[in-house]
Structure 1
Amino acid sequence: TMAAPVYKFGPPLHARNVEGITRDDEFVTTSWAGDNQHQQPTETQQRIDAPLMKIKTYLSALRPWSLSASLVPTMLGTTIALRVHGFQEFNFLTFICTVFTVVTVHCAGNVVNTYFDFVKGIDNRKSDDRTLVDHILSKDEVVTLGVLLYCAGCAGFVCLVYLSPAKLEHLALVYFGGLSSSFLYTGGIGLKYIALGDVLILIIFGPISVLFSYMAQTGYVEWMTIFYAIPLALNTEAILHSNNTRDAESDKRVGIVTLAILIGKTCSYVLYALLLFTPYVIFVVLGMKYSTLFLLPMVTLKQAFDIEKQFRNESTLQKVPRQTAKLNLFFGILYVVACFGAPQLPFITRK
């Protein structure tokens, strides 16, 4: 019979050197390769991540931090309408459609602002919005985004016409007035560049937005809603004024004129303080005379003082517009809650 083969077992594999590579070396090499693979995404991962990054870029170009300026007035107008007519006549779809319409037009205005500030040479490497400066998006992409947003806003308006009890001509007057203003702020004649941007912001992000949302729900105009819009309008103007004060030197170099440039640094600070703190005075008066619920926004007063200190400091002025926008959102929501819960809304008659 043939003898069975004899297998000789040598030392453990990790102790042997096979072609100059030990098991330990192999482990290290594999680990390094794994780490390197983790650091460098595969082609599949890149294909997945690329669209997500692009979407994030587009969203960033819309300046989402500024949207409180349009969201809160829309919520306020709807809340006043709810208090006047009750839940029986409240239409949730109308509210959603109103928010969509107002926000898309606001975003479109932000994109138009980005485009014309770049074309006119205002934005630079130190600017807060560097979407075009850093070539994050191309000019064509920004234009396309603006057109799509305006189209979306118009689509929302068409839906609103069918849902709202308001007359078409009344809705159209307010809507297209707001739409054209969002474009003319920097496009066309460029109201921002001739020191009229502040007036436009006071009108649009306050009275017009509140009036539009109220009318969309009720079907008619209530002029006293403008009174309720004053605190929000002043605070929104504070966002713009802090932005223009921060950019005053660069704006002056390219030859545009803003209110911050015309009145100088000291008066700009005084104006900012008035815009920031006047709403709190209004809340105190309403709280003492009508309902203590109107004192709810006073919770944010400390935050307002902190932002006012940042405004006085050149090194922290860069952050002030966004901080003011955040304040606008917080005290705006508290103001809406106060209007919703107050036993009586002054100057507004329940139907």
Structure 2
Amino acid sequence: MNQTPSADSGFQIWWQLMRPHTLTAAFVPVFLGTVLAAQYTDLDVPLFSAMMIASLLIQAATNMFNEYFDFKRGLDTEKSIGIGGAIVRNGVKPKTVLNMAFAFFGIALLLGLYICAVSSWWIGLVGLVCMAVGYLYTGGPLPIAYTPFGEAASGFFMGGVIIYISFFIQTGFLSWTVFLFSVPIILLVGGINLANNIRDRIGDKESGRKTLAILIGHERAVLVLAASFVIAYAWVAVLLFTDAGSLWLFLSFFSILKAIKAIKGFKGKTSPIQMMPAMKATAQTNTFYGFLLSIGVLISFLF
């Protein structure tokens, strides 16, 4: 099984391994945090670029760790839905996937050194914690992904902390505005994780996981996801009273059809393949909401 993939399929194999639909969980927070910082300072473009690349690499590495450890625990098969499949379908050696994940972490660490040198060395400590969470999500003796806290961990560290870092390295301080703007992104990034767990609920339960979706069941988990969407959109009204408040923030509402599609896509579905469109719509909700919210902030600053 562990044969080297052919050259003509190599790029696609590694691209799928990074699970590109999840990378918005890294892109959106960096973009939003940086746009919020533009109100207070002239943006450092190289610093923004380094932060963006480092965050994307950490997210991709986290997905690779997921692929490796799930394979090692016997959870992934050729029929598994939602995985990159590099190991079980394309014959990539597990050690190669693990080494690639650590290589991505290494590059992110180097970028982190640059970010710290330009901003603050305290950022290095926070970044290391984020990287540790990325590894421990599926690695270690008690993976976070096997507990009911996966959504909270991914939402806070990828949705919240990344926004705070992106803002801080540009401005040198934090404000209540950036904390308030992180709330809906925390919910939506956590929602991507929840959608994944709803899709995989049956298989995860058989493997001994105790995710939130398993503990509360399919229907309640979908309700929790729907509630996250409702709060995220309602929260825009709260953001109007911040330093970055503007009616332009309601541009984010143009993403609401994706949220509706996600909820409808989960209702009444039982097999993972049936729920894949809903999973994709959940990730797209985060992408479009976060991007449009950021554009709304940017327009309010410019005009």
The answer to whether the Cα contact below 8 Å between 2:264 and 2:278 also exists between their aligned partners in 1 is no
Task: Name the CA shift for 1:200/1:132 in 2 (closer, same or farther; >3 Å).
Answer: same
Aligned pairs for 1:273-288 (under 5 A) are: 273-286=226-239
- Tell me whether 1:54 sits opposite 2:1 in the alignment: no
The answer to whether the aligner puts 1:302 opposite 2:254 as a matched pair is: no
* Residue matched to 2:89: 134
1:312 aligns with 2:267: yes
Q: 1:62 to 1:343 in 2, by over 3 A?
A: closer
Alpha-carbon distance in 2 for matches of 1:52, 1:230: 43
TM-fit CA distance, 1:224: 4.1
What is the alpha-carbon distance in structure 1 between the residues aligned to residue 294 and residue 168 of structure 2?
A: 17
Aligned equivalent of 1:69: 25
Residue by residue over 1:304-328, the C-alpha shift from the partner in whole angstroms, topping out at 9 and shown as x without a partner, is 2122111103163232222211221
Distance in 2, matches of 1:263 and 1:137, equals: 36
Aligned ranges 1:219-234 → 2 under 5 Å: 219-222=172-175, 224-234=177-187
Write the deviation string for residues 11-46 of structure 1: whole angstroms up to 9, x where unpaired.
xxxxxxxxxxxxxxxxxxxxxxxxxxxxxxxxxxxx
Q: What is the aligned-residue identity percentage?
A: 24
Q: Which moved more, 1:249-258 or 1:218-227?
A: 218-227
- Take 1:342 and 1:123, find their aligned partners in 2: how far apart are those partners? 47
**Cα-to-partner distance string for 1:160-202 (whole Å, 9 max, x where unaligned):** 223x2x321x111211111111011111131111222122112
* The one of 73, 83, 101 aligned to 1:120: 73
Letter in 2 for 1:62: M
Structure 2 residue aligned with 1:194, among 124, 141, 147? 147
Residue pair 1:307, 1:324 contacting (<8 A) in 2 also: yes
Indicate conservation of the 8 Å contact 1:283/1:298, yes or no: no
Greater than 6 Å deviation, 4+ residue runs: none
Task: Give how far 1:343 is off.
Answer: 5.4
Deviation digits for residues 247-294 of structure 1 (CA, Å, limit 9, x no counterpart): 111111111110111111221121011112211111245459942111
User: One-letter code of the match for 2:283?
Assistant: A
2:282 to 324, 328, 339: 324
Q: Which residue of 2 aligns with 1:174?
A: 126
> Who is 1:91 aligned against?
44
**Residue among 34, 37, 43 paired with 1:78:** 34
SS in 2 for 1:83: coil
Higher relative contact order structure (alpha carbons within 8 Å, sequence separation ≥ 6): 2
Aligned AA for 1:276? F
Larger radius of gyration: 1
Mapped partners of 2:225, 2:56: distance in 1: 25
Q: What is the CA distance between 1:120 and its match in structure 2?
A: 1.5
Show CA shifts across 1:58-78 (max 9, x none).
Answer: 121111111111111001111
SS of 1:186 mapped into structure 2: coil
RMSD over aligned CA atoms reads 2.0
Distance in 2 separating the partners of 1:298 and 1:175? 32
d(CA) in 2 for partners of 1:286, 1:140: 46
Structure 1 stretches of 5 or more lacking a match? 1-48, 345-351
Counterpart of 1:267 in structure 2 is: 220
Aligned to 2:82, the other structure's residue is in SS state coil
* Aligned residue among 149, 160, 169 for 1:207: 160
- The amino acid that maps onto 1:108 is A
- Length-normalised TM-score, structure 2: 0.90
Deviation at 1:133, TM superposition (A): 2.0
Note closer, same or farther for the CA distance 1:222–1:173 as it changes in structure 2 (3 Å cut).
Answer: farther
- Alpha-carbon distance between aligned partners in 1 of 2:8 and 2:174, rounded to the nearest angstrom: 43
CA deviations 1:61-96 (Å, max 9, x no partner) are 1111111111110011111111112x3xx2110010
- Number of residue equivalences: 290
Q: Tell me the secondary structure at the aligned position of residue 132 of structure 1.
A: coil
SS of the residue aligned with 2:139?
coil
Q: Who is 1:149 aligned against?
A: 104
